[in-house]
Structure 1
């Protein structure tokens, strides 16, 4: 909860994270009252914000976000505001990968469709899909609900030096330096998978881009983080005009 002791940096992070939840809900990428986003407020990643258990994305406000501390000896046992799967995944992401300032995990329909194929790679057939050329970690070891710290640690290890994890038979996860970059990445990843699913659905052969073109396009994407930030800022402007309650 925000209070008089909340720093300006934490308050802004709360507002941004709440805006991401609301925007994802508007885009139809949410999963009922499941899935979670988290954002570190400490340099070592051990203190982070996350949405409370089973709260619909479209209703989340900045003040609703829960502050977690990996060094709190009490842990989360017995807490009613924590989804065990969220703690298993996000707790370990922030513990194992302090560079993961923001972690977003979703089960969006098109990305989850691709994640459920025998070949879950996002093939570079256009500008959006090329963003992910050779830049996806793949998890092919789904074993049910991720409700243990061991499973969260396994997922964190799979990321390696990548920032996106295609979670086979499950969904997707992205990490980024800011909420805006993470939001734009997971938005574009879902758009890329929508394009790929529709291309597969035609039954015609895919016209896959040459590796050199795909790699050049992916590198170009990596140079325009300001595009990602601008996208997110525009989404916040839409919320400010239509329903600014997210910032409360």
Structure 2
């Protein structure tokens, strides 16, 4: 059976599917999702072109492991299949998995504070605390929003993610996109970026002068966090443990 067919897509990559389903469920718990929009994808082949992604217009809190679509970034008929993905999901995530092989897991949301940051004329995230410093020199800002992320827009965004150092894209006038080496790595980064954006936006709301870390200290923090092994996996393992207690159907 063709693993990319609509009848066989839910039979492969079980562990990866479970991790993805957990990420969708917990993102909904944190209210970082948006209606039945937003998408996460995970490469499951060595070249990164075979990837799992959420089905079209399904609420994050309902997604199960077996619901995920298995697509190939080079498949010209991806949008013609009976269970075709959302066209913007295909345009953005398909383009990234086609052109950015180091982007193993891709998470895109319109979470509130990251989107507020993306709406500012200056969308930089200054290092004002330990969390914000984690992202020092590791964020690329897209200032060329051209509308819904169909194929051309997705290709344009993918071209901005070629530097492996850039793990976060602040999508101006749109939202945020994070890359990771695994579901746990990407989700941890998404979680901390949203927290960092919230800290910054709330600090701006005080109207007081910000206390900025030096470039040297900020880079030191970012580098240390780049090599702080184990935290993302432990965080995500605990998320799955909590979901097993309250909504174990995510694994099915």
Provide TM-score, normalisation by structure 1.
Answer: 0.94
Q: Distance in 2 between matches of 1:57 and 1:203?
A: 36
**2:151 is the counterpart of 1:140:** no
Q: Distance in 2 between matches of 1:138 and 1:214?
A: 18
Q: How many correspondences in the alignment?
A: 245
**2:169 is the counterpart of 1:169:** no
2:227 counterpart residue number: 223
Provide TM-score, normalisation by structure 2.
Answer: 0.93
| Residue 69 (structure 1) aligned to one of 72, 89, 101 | 72
Cα deviation for residue 4 of structure 1 reads 11
Q: Distance in 1 between matches of 2:123 and 2:58?
A: 30
Cα deviation for residue 202 of structure 1 reads 0.2
Name the CA shift for 1:51/1:4 in 2 (closer, same or farther; >3 Å): closer
Local SS of the residue matching 2:135: coil
Name the CA shift for 1:216/1:6 in 2 (closer, same or farther; >3 Å): same
1:155 counterpart residue number: 157
2:49 counterpart residue number: 46
Q: Distance in 1 between matches of 2:78 and 2:242?
A: 37
Q: Distance in 2 between matches of 1:194 and 1:63?
A: 34
Local SS of the residue matching 2:79: coil
Q: RMSD of aligned C-alpha atoms?
A: 1.7
Cα deviation for residue 78 of structure 1 reads 6.1
Local SS of the residue matching 1:18: helix
- 1:1-248 equivalences under 5 Å are 6-7=11-12, 10-77=13-80, 79=82, 81-147=84-150, 149-161=151-163, 162-248=166-252
> Gaps (5+ residues) in structure 2?
1-5
Q: Distance in 2 between matches of 1:243 and 1:28?
A: 17
Q: Distance in 2 between matches of 1:21 and 1:14?
A: 11
**Preserved contact between residue 2 and residue 63 of structure 1 (Cα < 8 Å):** no
Cα deviation for residue 98 of structure 1 reads 1.4
